[in-house]
Structure 1
Amino acid sequence: MRWLAATGLMALASPAMAQQMTPPVAAKKPYQVPSPHGAREDEYYWLRDDTRKNPEMLAYLNAENAYADAQLAALKPLEAKLYAETVAHIKQDDSSVPYRKNGYWYSSRFATGADYPLIERRQGSATAPATILFDQPAMAKGHNFFALSDWAVSPDNRLVAWAEDTVGRRQYVLKVKDIATGRIYEDTITNIEPNIVWAADNRTILYIAKDPTTLRGYRAMAHVLGTPVSADRMLYEEKDDSFSIGVGRTTDDRYICIGVQSTVSDEQRCAPAARPTAFTVIAPREREFRYSADHLGHRWIIRTNRGAKNYKLVTLADADMARGAAAWRDLVPGSDAVFIEAFKPFNGFVAIDQREGGNRMIRLLTDAGKSVPVKADEPAYRMGLSTNEEPDTLWVRYTYGSLVTPTTTYEINARTGERRTLKVTPVPGYDPSLYVTERVWAPARDGTRIPVSIVYRKGVKRDGTAPLFQYAYGSYGISTDPGVDAGRIGLLDRGVVYAIAHIRGGQEMGRGWYDDGHLLNKKNSFTDFIDVTRYLVAQKYAAPGRVAAMGGSAGGLLMGGVANMAPQDYKLIIAQVPFVDVVTTMLDASIPLTTFEYDEWGNPANKPYYDYMLSYSPYDNVAGKAYPALYVGTGLWDSQVQYYEPAKWVARLRAKKTDTNPLLFRVNMEAGHGGKSGRFERIRQNAEWQAFMLSQLGVAGS
């Protein structure tokens, strides 16, 4: 393949020569994708290789990387400058706010220049000498990817178990060590979820095993330290492949609970932490019935959607456990205006994490019935409960932030309302007074008002000339909350207006907001995003020819849909790890996550869902027309959106699009869904697409 050799050499060529390079061309190979409703032609299906060893496939991906290198060569100075600016806005030796649990204070700390933090603990006082639990910089040495994604200390404080991934495919390995001596036990368990719980005996570890093919967590297992993994006891197996599974302890540590959930249903079974063998179901699963239960004192507190679309809180006395849901009593009734997102029980009160008017906020409810909201001073913001490990306190920790205000950790007294600042996340070289944040409401084509969070630097004129960078996600009921991003400051300082479109498919405006943006309503997410863009341009926040859009994963599906539906509205679209081959993926139950997501996208075995997904699937709707400039990113080892989805999409776009706008495909050959690991590696990756974006938007100095 002569063009492959050429692209390898052209990475060092001049910008003029780079522009003349021919983009990689993927071979077309006839293939019919079967379905219950007829076959579809997929000429690039051959790019799928589950072993990730096919030489022809790897050659194509490497050629795309070489082509991207060549096209971006002239932007290397700007990329380096953006990287340096972002790093300058990060306090490199930053540390977390210590929290107390079981007599010890835990925190994490970065050393200057380190990609990964140290995790430490101190006995008795937050100022006592530190014991290092995890030296992650040392643990990561020799690995192209490293993630420590869960860890748990035994109840007697002697041992720590953790889950690590050195590939990026989220197939974690469980390990255990003695904290005092550093001795690592021989017990090693592979292919697990990052979800670990100790039983009260300090010897038994509960974990979730993954199916080796689909990578679905499906079995709750118990491992006794020092015994063969083959002797591990299965506590529960979830046989419905549309459910995921997890394990955790209640706030008072009295119970261990195994939870299973799907998009529309939950089931939780709990057992005493001292005897995690016989589990009692809190309430049996039913379709469209969701709940999660926690325990403190002599009662359960349960968040549920039963009779409350936006959720409510109910209580269940220990003495009434046998009666099940019939004995539930309302603690906080449901509301059409307030969506209850989470809660945390304390002795004497409950902290409630909720959404109202598109913002996330906290309120405290005492056992006497007094309700106290935590106040905010900005139009668009987010609060969230922080780490609160000990329930016997009047002080509740929470975080606050906005697109202007750096994340701040507070604690508030539930009795007096006194508030104390524990930490303001340092952002060196950043002055919040130089920026403005707004909340506007953009009308969608069906009349729905879409909340939009906006930030820009003071002095940027609202005269229809500014460049706009618009982001959204809009799936799974996941809401996108505003926050300061060190990597965004350089964009704002160059006059870019940044906007988060809180489109349907998230839950910013409650459960109905999600219902109106998934299954047979999914296209609302796409049209909401487009209508937000058109509104911001019409209101002169941006110039019509200077709009960049970005989304990742399911937000990458959004970008693919927008690219097909309204390419003329965007100068550039950035799609990271995009889920773009919806129909083919949802037809294949062997692909990780597929069966979980039938209630998100629909089961294509059902023809109405098949037809609807086919009508918006980005890969299936690529047409012979002009598209905006595109930057597409993926990871070869991605287990959530397989690399071949964006690879096929890019190949088909190259073959069909009629424009001469650049199309760049960046493949991380050693990473998964989240890209390369390490904070500085991520900044480097971001600086690349940021430089490309600024050049496409014609930002001065880029």
Structure 2
Amino acid sequence: EVEGGQRRGMITRRIVRSMSAKGMSNEGGKAKALPARVPHEVKFGVVEGENRGSVKGSLFDPPITRTDPYFWLRDDERKSEKVIDYLKQENDYCKEATSHLESFSGEIYKEMKSHLKETDDEVPWQQGTLGWRYFTRTLEGKSYKLHCRTKLESNAEEDLQGENIDVILDENDVAKDLAHCDVGCVVPSPSENLVAYAVDSTGYETYKVCFRDLDGKQNTEETIEETTGDIAWGLDDSLIFYSKMDKAHRPHQLWVRVRKEGTGEARDQLLLEEDDERFWLGLWKSRSGKILFSGLRSKETTEVHMIDLQAVHDRIKAGQDVEIKDFLKMVSPREQGVIYKVDHLDKFGHLVFLTNAWDKKEFTLCAAPVDKPDRANWFEMESFKYDPGKYLLGAYCFKDFVVLSGREGGLTRLWILHFAEDGGTLDVAKCQRVEFEEEAYEVNFSARNKVFDSDSFRVIYSSMVTPDSTVMVNSSSGETEVIKVDEVPGYDPSKYATIRLEAEARDGTKIPMSVVFKKDKDFVDGEDIKT
């Protein structure tokens, strides 16, 4: 320990000397502004009129009091002149205290920027039924992305130009007159004549949903104010779902706007409200597109509700007045400590779950009929039994197969499952793990998988040697095809290699280690490192 401390001290002194040699010292700078100490009593425990938690036995009763001299710095409204003035003093001090680093930070910035391809296109993905393929584009010198679409099948950069491209939204135009701009969801409508997008113009993560006419290339007058930024269309343009937050900025309400196409009329309905402050609300559509899910989740408990979008669509098309709330159905009520994730396996009329129910340490795969989704009807797969060595994270249903994502043996993994019914009981007929050549890597299911009836799916692959890569995986064979490797200017991946080692701990546990090295005459394939 002494030797290690001495070594760390020597390294620190060398860094300081190096910075001084580069002109990075800051002797004689201005003194740091210190905040005023203003005594303020803060109570911990049960306080009348305040929600301090539902487990009363774990709270101080009567409450205890502590003095916080810096409580005045809390400014939830961000309007206190005293707090703002103090922050300005902090910023001024920081600017002067680090002024000697400006040239050095400039060098670092130039170095990092030199390895970025500023003008670049994402690999297009298919969405909808009209043949459009969507993608995002970045341009050199522009701060924000362009959202584009094309009907070409080619992914070549030279083809994704000019008249072949339809720009549906330029975030640079959105940001033009805003002090702050964050564009969240950008979601084409089912007709693909509109796009709904969410924009935060304050930095407070409160989003306004805007609607853009893709034929006229201009925004409509319709907006939805003060949302979380999460939005999802129904089966057609007549429904759009969104969520709102409470005063504590907690997503707690699910809403739907019923739009009468061609009339400009719209009616908003509150569908679900969560009062328990431990739970946050989210919304998403099943990959089949037929179910809208709304999940309520705390740190350790889940409750999901669902809406049959096909049934709602049929009622609206029949010209009937619809109360969407009447179609809201609970999947399974919350149970303390039980978490579950759900998607729709439409072909077999089931919901597929990942859950830690039955006191499981990790998630297990199970299913239930879509018309009987309660936990009492959940059943595990006989041919894909619970394995604590697999940490399952996601289940993504396609028409003819399901992709599971997770971890096994310290690596991110993907499994392809094909299902069958034997005597009326659903089970896994075939399971295949997707394999990659490198020993150490990361792979994730892509959010760009928008086609339900597909025989392949997209993943994003990378390693300590390989930049982010868009890869297609065949669902039948598990074979992979690299569509694009992100270009990193000035970097040659052939000069480097990565391997995976395991070190044995005292208790016999194998500890995985990922190693990256530059190839030379001594280190070519890593075998000498392993031995």
- Please state which band the TM-score falls in when normalised by the shorter chain: 0.7 to 0.9
Which residue, out of 400, 410, 413, partners 1:358? 410
CA distance in 2, matches of 1:105, 1:87: 30
1:106 correspondence with 2:131:
no
Which residue, out of 424, 429, 442, partners 1:382? 442
Counterpart of 2:368 in structure 1: which amino acid? L
CA distance in 2, matches of 1:415, 1:379: 23
Shift of 1:23: 1.5
CA spacing shift, 1:166–1:18, aligned 2, 3 Å:
farther
Counterpart of 2:433 in structure 1: which amino acid? P
TM-score (norm 2): 0.77
CA distance in 2, matches of 1:375, 1:323: 34
Aligned to 2:355: 304
Aligned to 1:35: 44
Aligned to 1:155: 190
CA distance in 1, matches of 2:298, 2:223: 29
CA spacing shift, 1:237–1:301, aligned 2, 3 Å:
same
Which residue, out of 255, 259, 262, partners 1:221? 255
CA contact (8 A) 1:18 1:70 kept: no
Shift of 1:448: 7.8
CA distance in 2, matches of 1:41, 1:198: 50
Counterpart of 1:191 in structure 2: which amino acid? E
Aligned to 2:288: 252
5+ unaligned residues in a row in structure 2: which ranges? 1-22, 46-59, 313-323, 421-428, 523-531
CA distance in 2, matches of 1:115, 1:388: 26
Q: Give RMSD over aligned pairs.
A: 2.8
Shift of 1:93: 0.8
Which residue, out of 321, 335, 342, partners 1:293? 342
Structure that is richer in strand per residue? 2
Helix, strand or coil at the partner of 2:472: strand
Aligned to 1:266: 302
Helix, strand or coil at the partner of 2:183: strand
1:187 correspondence with 2:215:
no
Aligned to 2:468: 407
CA spacing shift, 1:61–1:35, aligned 2, 3 Å:
same
Aligned to 2:379: 329
Helix, strand or coil at the partner of 1:39: strand
1:75 correspondence with 2:101:
yes
CA spacing shift, 1:405–1:85, aligned 2, 3 Å:
same
Structure that is richer in helix per residue? 1
Aligned to 2:81: 55
What per-residue deviation string (whole Å, max 9, x for no partner) do you get for residues 628-658 of structure 1? xxxxxxxxxxxxxxxxxxxxxxxxxxxxxxx
Shift of 1:317: 2.8
CA distance in 2, matches of 1:177, 1:164: 13
What per-residue deviation string (whole Å, max 9, x for no partner) do you get for residues 406-451 of structure 1? 1111112122333211110111111234445465678999998765
Helix, strand or coil at the partner of 2:111: helix
CA contact (8 A) 2:181 2:200 kept: yes
Deviation larger for 227-236 or 26-35: 227-236
1:239 correspondence with 2:275:
yes
Counterpart of 1:420 in structure 2: which amino acid? E
CA distance in 1, matches of 2:497, 2:97: 35
CA distance in 1, matches of 2:77, 2:505: 44
CA distance in 2, matches of 1:230, 1:202: 12
CA spacing shift, 1:358–1:313, aligned 2, 3 Å:
same
Counterpart of 1:415 in structure 2: which amino acid? S
CA spacing shift, 1:438–1:55, aligned 2, 3 Å:
farther
Helix, strand or coil at the partner of 1:282: strand
Aligned to 1:431: 492
1:115 correspondence with 2:151:
no
TM-score (norm 1): 0.59
Shift of 1:388: 1.4
The percent of aligned pairs where both chains have the same amino acid is 29
Which residue, out of 222, 226, 237, partners 1:202? 237
Shift of 1:21: 2.4
Counterpart of 1:372 in structure 2: which amino acid? Q
CA spacing shift, 1:458–1:58, aligned 2, 3 Å:
farther
CA distance in 1, matches of 2:119, 2:149: 17
CA spacing shift, 1:254–1:25, aligned 2, 3 Å:
same
CA distance in 2, matches of 1:335, 1:76: 53
Shift of 1:457: 5.6
CA contact (8 A) 2:442 2:461 kept: yes
CA spacing shift, 1:323–1:45, aligned 2, 3 Å:
closer
Query: Aligned runs of 1:483-632 on 2, under 5 Å?
Result: none
CA spacing shift, 1:98–1:32, aligned 2, 3 Å:
same
Which structure has the greater CA radius of gyration? 2
CA spacing shift, 1:22–1:266, aligned 2, 3 Å:
same
Aligned to 2:394: 342
Helix, strand or coil at the partner of 2:44: coil
CA distance in 2, matches of 1:68, 1:454: 37
Helix, strand or coil at the partner of 1:399: strand
Shift of 1:170: 0.5
CA distance in 2, matches of 1:230, 1:124: 35
Helix, strand or coil at the partner of 2:187: strand
Counterpart of 2:35 in structure 1: which amino acid? A
Counterpart of 2:453 in structure 1: which amino acid? D
What per-residue deviation string (whole Å, max 9, x for no partner) do you get for residues 144-164 of structure 1? 321111122221111111111
Aligned to 1:497: none
Helix, strand or coil at the partner of 1:67: helix
CA distance in 1, matches of 2:485, 2:103: 32
Aligned to 2:366: 314
Aligned to 1:21: 30
CA distance in 2, matches of 1:90, 1:218: 39
CA distance in 2, matches of 1:176, 1:410: 32
Counterpart of 1:27 in structure 2: which amino acid? A
CA distance in 2, matches of 1:265, 1:451: 31
CA distance in 1, matches of 2:225, 2:149: 27
